């Protein structure tokens, strides 16, 4: 299929980009790598009047060490995220989850910022940045990730607001981590995914952070499980018991690849596995 017509601008400054979106009056759409947007355009599921290409904006580039956090520019491709030494050192969970996104060619073009702005609950990265208590930095403000994803394919971004990057605290440096992705074929979206971080102290789990992919219209935190495993043994039995609560507070979809009931079951099994893998148990 072929996209419907749209105008295209590639501003070289952030202010021009914001102005272009403002001028488009809610009919504009930001394009970064375009790997989520292009299929929607081609299937004519999206009809923007203007595409604002942000690839020329220096503010969206690079990965910066900010002392107690990393700021990952929105235009950082999945390919770059996976290989970045700062990410590997301080956010290896993000690198691991990013390596499961789509396929190599898509990872060459697709960006972290694009994945977050697209706000697809089946995307792998929203749950990761949610688990890491990240902060989304935009052209206008900073939004904690927990407030960023508001509904299915919907974020807190205003129509004239551009995502510049995401700030991830270094607090999780050294934590055990694992992204457990369950899908039918290598290329398929996650039916359920579990992003997991654990801090082990003397063979016990001191703390855990768990984000769930595709268990509702937005990525969700499994707070009940986090609480249940904290200050408990790093054993499979304990993880299984705690993972029982993984579906609490979720509202998973029913679609071609899995019913809500199955997803709730998977969330339990996969959360237990993710905890075990993260804890090295």
Partner 1 sequence: MSEIAPEAVAEQVTPGTPDAKSEVGRARRRTEDARLITGRTTWTDNIQLPGLLHVAFLRSPISHARIGRIDAEAARARPGVIAVFTGADLADEQGSLPCAWPVTDDMVLPDHPPIAVDEVRYVGEPVAVVVARDRYAAVDALEAVDVDYEPLPAVVDMERAVEEGADLVHADKGTNKSYTWVFEAGEPDAAFRDAPVVIERRYVQQRLIPTAMEPRAVVCSAVGDEYTLWSATQIPHILRLMLATVTGIPEHRLRVVAPDVGGGFGSKLQVYGEEVVCLLLARRLGRPVKWTESRSEGNMAVHHGRDQIQRLSLAADRDGRIRGLKVDLLADMGAYLMLVTPGVPLLGAFMFNGIYKMDAYSFTCTGVFTNKTPTDAYRGAGRPEATFGIERLMDELANELGLDPIEVRRRNWIRHEEFPYDTISGLTYDSGNYEAATEKALRLFEYDKLRAEQADRRDRGDPVQLGIGVSTFTEMCGLAPSRVLGSLSYGAGGWEHASVRVLPSGKVEVVTGSSAHGQGHETAWAQIAADRLGVPFEDVRVLHGDTSVSPKGMDTYGSRSLAVGGVALFNACDKVIDKARRMAAHLLEADEGDIEFSGGSFAVKGVPGQARTLQEVALAAFAAHDLPEGFEPSLDSEATHDPENFSFPHGTHLCAAEVDTETGFVKLRSYVAVDDVGKVVNPLIVEGQVHGGLAQGIAQALYEEAVYDDDGNLTTTTMADYLVPSAADLPTFTTDRTETPATTNPLGVKGVGEAGTIASTPAVVNAIVDALRPYGVDDVPMPCTPERVWRALTEARRGAAPPGGSPEPGAGGGLGSAGGAA
Partner 2 sequence: MPRVSVEVDGVRYDDDVEPRLLLAHYLRDRLGKVGTPIGCDTSNCGACTVLMDGLSVKSCSVLAVQADGHEITTIEGLGDGRNLHPMQRAFHEEHALQCGYCTPGMIMASLDLLRENADPSDEEIRAGLEGNLCRCTGYQNIVRAVRRAANDMRQSDQAEEAHR
Enumerate binding residues for partner 1 (CB under 8 A): 1-2, 4-5, 39, 43-44, 182, 184-189, 191, 236, 240-241, 243-244, 256-259, 261-262, 264-266, 268-270, 272-273
Q: How far is the CB of 225 from partner 1 (least distance, A)?
A: 11
**Residue 240 interacting partner from partner 1, partner 2, none (CB closer than 5 to 8 Å by kind):** partner 1
The helix, strand and coil proportions of the chain, stated in percent and rounded to the nearest 5, come to 35, 25, 40
Question: Considering only 3-11, 165-173, 190-198, 241-249, which stretch makes contact with partner 2 by CB under 8 A?
Answer: 3-11
- For residues 225 and 198, is the Cβ–Cβ distance under 8 A? no
Rounded distance, CA 46 to CA 120, Å? 15
Q: What angle do CA 142, 164, 73 make, to 5 degrees?
A: 120
- For residues 78 and 112, is the Cβ–Cβ distance under 8 A? yes
Residue 12 phi, psi (nearest 5)? -105, -5
Q: How far is the CB of 186 from partner 1 (least distance, A)?
A: 4
**Residue 259 interacting partner from partner 1, partner 2, none (CB closer than 5 to 8 Å by kind):** partner 1
* Count of chain residues binding partner 2 (CB under 8 A): 30
Beta-bridged to residue 177, according to DSSP, are 197
The site for partner 2 (CB under 8 A) is made up of: 1-8, 10, 31, 34-35, 38-39, 41-43, 51, 53, 55, 79, 102-106, 108-109, 186-187
């Amino acid at each position: 299929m072929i996209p419907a017509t749209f105008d295209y601008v590639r501003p070289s400054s952030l202010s021009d980009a914001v102005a272009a979106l403002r001028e488009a009056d809610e009919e504009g759409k930001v394009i970064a790598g375009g790997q989520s947007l292009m299929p929607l355009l081609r299937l004519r599921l999206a009809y923007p009047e203007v595409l604002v290409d942000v690839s020329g904006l220096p503010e969206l580039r690079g990965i910066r060490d900010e002392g107690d956090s990393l700021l990952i520019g929105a235009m950082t491709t999945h390919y770059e995220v996976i290989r970045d030494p700062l990410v590997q050192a301080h956010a290896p969970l993000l690198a691991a989850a990013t390596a499961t996104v789509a396929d190599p060619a898509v990872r060459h073009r697709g960006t972290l910022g694009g994945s977050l702005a697209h706000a697809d609950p089946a995307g792998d990265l929203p749950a990761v940045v949610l688990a890491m208590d990240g902060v989304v930095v935009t052209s206008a403000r900073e939004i904690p990730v927990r407030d960023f994803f508001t509904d299915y394919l919907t974020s807190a971004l205003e129509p004239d607001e551009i995502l510049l990057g995401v700030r991830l605290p270094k607090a999780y440096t050294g934590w055990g981590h694992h992204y457990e992705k369950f899908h039918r074929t290598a290329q398929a979206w996650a039916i359920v995914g579990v992003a997991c971080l654990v801090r082990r102290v003397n063979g016990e789990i001191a703390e855990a952070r768990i984000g769930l992919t595709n268990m509702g219209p937005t990525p969700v935190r499994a707070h009940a499980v986090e609480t249940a495993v904290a200050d408990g043994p790093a054993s499979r039995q304990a993880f299984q018991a705690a993972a029982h609560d993984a579906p609490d507070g979720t509202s998973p979809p029913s679609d071609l690849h899995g019913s809500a009931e199955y997803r709730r079951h998977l969330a339990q099994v996969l959360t237990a596995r993710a905890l075990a893998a993260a804890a090295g148990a």
